[in-house]
Structure 1
């Protein structure tokens, strides 16, 4: 999704949960994050709150006064992902939670949280489904790059979806 965000010019916001105690963003993801003058440059915020909507990030998200469509990936689906999604919904944003992009230390918590989030108004979907929804048409200038990215990660995505969906 980080690679797709660069292709589709979608800003990336990253939060860590108390990095001094729990660790920074893993190096595999950190290496993919847009930097510097890139139009999708990453905003990184450390937090202790479970929701990622801490004041500095909330100001950035609400800066233009428009309601956003927000895609959430992350860990601890039943805690941080849920609280972030509920906060975004309460502010009027449209929230997409990627079933193959969220996890939990306790696998049984994940399907309960996804079910709740769907009932609350989130769109619970998969990364591949959302990517093609964002592109919308094979004539779109980003189609080839997104399609290539989907092909490149197809086996990993398939394994993730099968593993995660087997626990629903």
Structure 2
């Protein structure tokens, strides 16, 4: 999704949960590196929700309401609390089922069912990407189609893991 955001010029907001105690967001994501993904903000937080004062300030400068795509770990904690906060503020929220996880895999379907009932759209990364593009005639289509093809193995693995829960 980070590579897709770069292709489609979609702003990225990232947070790290309590960097001092838990460490940096994984380096493999290449957040805020010259060859990686530039974020609007990459904030440290202790709140479980990423709807922090710093994030609110940055997002207040964008058009609202926003369509927000959520990926992340601890679907039943940070993903849930962020989604509930965004929904409360009137934003549309998409949760990418193949882009969330939990250290307790049984938590994932419970969190996704709750968030769907609260009004979030639970979908998959590929489905959301094609919905976002809307037309194979756009300039970015070929790059996104290649990215989907190149990552189909890991996407399939994530979806198979979800299907077993």
Distance apart, 1:166 and its partner CA: 1.8
TM-score (ref. length: structure 1): 0.93
Q: Distance in 1 between matches of 2:63 and 2:147?
A: 32
Output one character per residue of 1:105-158: Cα deviation in whole Å (capped at 9) or x when no partner. Answer: 111111000000000000000001101111111111111000000001011101
Query: Which one of the candidate residues 22, 38, 43 is aligned to 1:41?
Result: 38
Q: How many residues are paired up? A: 163
Distance apart, 1:165 and its partner CA: 2.2
Output one character per residue of 1:31-58: Cα deviation in whole Å (capped at 9) or x when no partner. Answer: 2x3557x9x7311000000000110111
Q: Corresponding residue for 1:124?
A: 122
TM-score (ref. length: structure 2): 0.94
Higher mean Cα deviation, 71-80 or 61-70? 61-70
Q: Gapped runs of 5+ residues in structure 1? A: none
Q: Distance in 2 between matches of 1:111 and 1:132?
A: 24
Q: Corresponding residue for 1:140?
A: 138
**Are 2:48 and 1:50 equivalent residues in the alignment?**
yes
Q: Gapped runs of 5+ residues in structure 2? A: none
Q: Distance in 1 between matches of 2:47 and 2:155?
A: 30
Q: Distance in 2 between matches of 1:114 and 1:129?
A: 16
Q: Considering only aligned residues, what root-mean-square deviation do their CA atoms show, in Å?
A: 1.5
Q: Distance in 2 between matches of 1:114 and 1:27?
A: 27
Q: Distance in 1 between matches of 2:132 and 2:79?
A: 21
Q: Distance in 2 between matches of 1:137 and 1:115?
A: 30
Q: Corresponding residue for 1:152?
A: 150
Is the 1:72–1:98 Cα contact (8 Å) retained in structure 2?
yes
Q: Corresponding residue for 1:28?
A: 28
Q: Corresponding residue for 1:5?
A: 5
Note the 1:92-107 alignment, pairs <5 A.
92-107=90-105
